[in-house]
Amino acid sequence: MGTVNGTKKYKLVATAAFGLESVVARELKGLGFNDIHAENGRVSYEGDGMDIARSNIWLRAADRVLIELARFHASDFEELYQGVFKIPWEEIIPCSGIMHVTGRSSGSKLSSVPGCQGVAKKAVIEAMKRRYRTESFPETGPHFGIEVSLLKDTAAIYLDTTGPGLHKRGYRTGAGEAAIKETLAAGLILLSRWRPPAVLADPFCGSGTIAIEAAMIGKNMAPGASRQFASEQWPFVSSRVWEDARKQARQAVNDKMFRIEASDVDEEILSKTRRNVRHAGVGRYVDLKRSDVREFRSNEKGGVIICNPPYGERQGEKGQIAQLSRDMGNTFKDLEGWSFFIFTAFEEFERHFGRHADGNRKLYNARIKCYLYEYRNR
C-alpha cells in the first residue's frame, strides 16, 4: 500500500476463472484503469478506496477483488511466519475484527495448506498485539478474509475485499441442475461481444442466468449495485465511496430497448426462471417461453445465440447429446446472419454439429473442462 497525491493506493487483484482473464482485463480498461497485468486466474492493477468499491460493484466476469499486501520468499514455516508478521496488521484490522485465513499451495515445500493457514493466523495475531496489548481478540466486528497463496518458494498475502463471491448477485432464487455461475455467464456474453439492438437468444435457458446477465449488460446495470461487500465495514475504506459508487451505478443505467429470447423444455425450471428475471428487474427485456431447441425459428437477421446445452456427463447419455448436437446444427443453419456461441463439455460437438467453429476457447464450469465454440456471422 502506498500514497499518491494524498490518496492511499493499493495493489489490487481481480481473480477470475481460467480463460476469462482477458475479459476481466477488458472490463477494467473500460472502467478507466491502466497498467493492467493479466496472468493465470488473476488480473492485477492499482487503485484507491473508490476503485475497490467500483471494481466490486461493476466487474461482471471476475470472482473477487483482493488487495495484495505482501510478496516474499518462503521455503519454510519460519520464513512464512516472519513475512506475515512484518505486515502492519494493527493498521488494517481493528481489535474486534473477524480474521478468517484461507490458503493454497502449488509446487511449494510448504504443501500443508492447513499448516500454512495456522502459521499465518498466529503471525497476524502476534502482530496485532503490538498495538492492542491483549492476549485474545473477540472477533465480533467486521470480517477480514486473508488469503495465503504459495507458488513454489514465493508467498503472496491477500486481503479479500469482496466477501461472498461476485457471482452472488442476489437475483437467483432457484437454479437448474446444470446452472452456470453468473460470472461465467457474463464472461460468455462479453466474449461474444453482443450488443443491443441485436436479438440474443438462449434456447437452453435453464434458470435464466445467461438471459439475465445479457439484459443487465444491455441496460448497463452494475451487477453488484444491490449487494453488500466485506470491505464496506472496514475502517480504512470510507462508507462515502460506496455511497458515491452506487449513486454513479444507478445513474449509468441506460434507456435502450432490446429483446432477449429465452426458452427451455422444462416448465418447472421456467417457473424458477420467471422469479429470477423478476428479481433481477429485467422482465421487460426477456421473453420466456417453453420450447424445444429443435423448434427454434426467427425472422430476425443478425441475432446471437449464446447457450449452455446439456453435457451428457452421465453414462449412456453420449448418444443423446450427439443427436442433440446434430439437431442444433440442422436448426441453426437456417438462421440468416446469426452468430452462435455454444458452451459445452461435449468434445465431439463440432463433428456432430456439422461445422467447424471459427474459434474455440477452453473454459471451466466449476471443475468441468468445457469449450466455448464460436460461430461468427458470415
Domain ranges of the chain: 2-160, 182-221+249-375
pLDDT in tens, 126-137: 999 988 888 888
For residue range 172-225, list pLDDT tens digits in order.
Answer: 876 555 579 999 999 999 999 999 999 999 999 999 999 999 999 999 999 999
3-state secondary structure of 43: strand
259 three-state secondary structure: coil
Closest CA to 203 of 287, 311, 323: 287
Do 360 and 376 meet the contact criterion of CB atoms below 8 Å apart? Answer: no
pLDDT of 23 over the 60 cut: yes
Q: Is residue 64 within 8 Å of 162, Cβ to Cβ?
A: yes
| Per-residue pLDDT tens over the stretch 242-295 | 999 999 999 999 999 999 999 999 999 999 999 999 999 999 999 999 999 999
What is the Rg, in whole angstroms, of the alpha carbon atoms belonging to the chain?
23
- Specify the pLDDT at position 3: 44
C-alpha cell at 291: 420450447
CATH 3.30.2130.30 fits 2-160, yes or no: yes
* pTM score, whole prediction: 0.93
| CATH superfamily placement of domain 182-221+249-375 | Vaccinia Virus protein VP39 (3.40.50.150)
Q: Please give the average per-residue pLDDT across 69-88, as a whole number.
A: 97
Question: Judging by beta carbons within 10 Å of its beta carbon (0-12, 13-18, 19+), is residue 317 exposed, middle or buried?
Answer: middle
User: Residue 305's beta-bridge partner residues?
Assistant: 201, 340
Span 116-134, average pLDDT: 93
Q: Taking residues 25-29, report their average pLDDT.
A: 98
Which pLDDT band, with edges at 50, 70 and 90, does 314 fall under? low
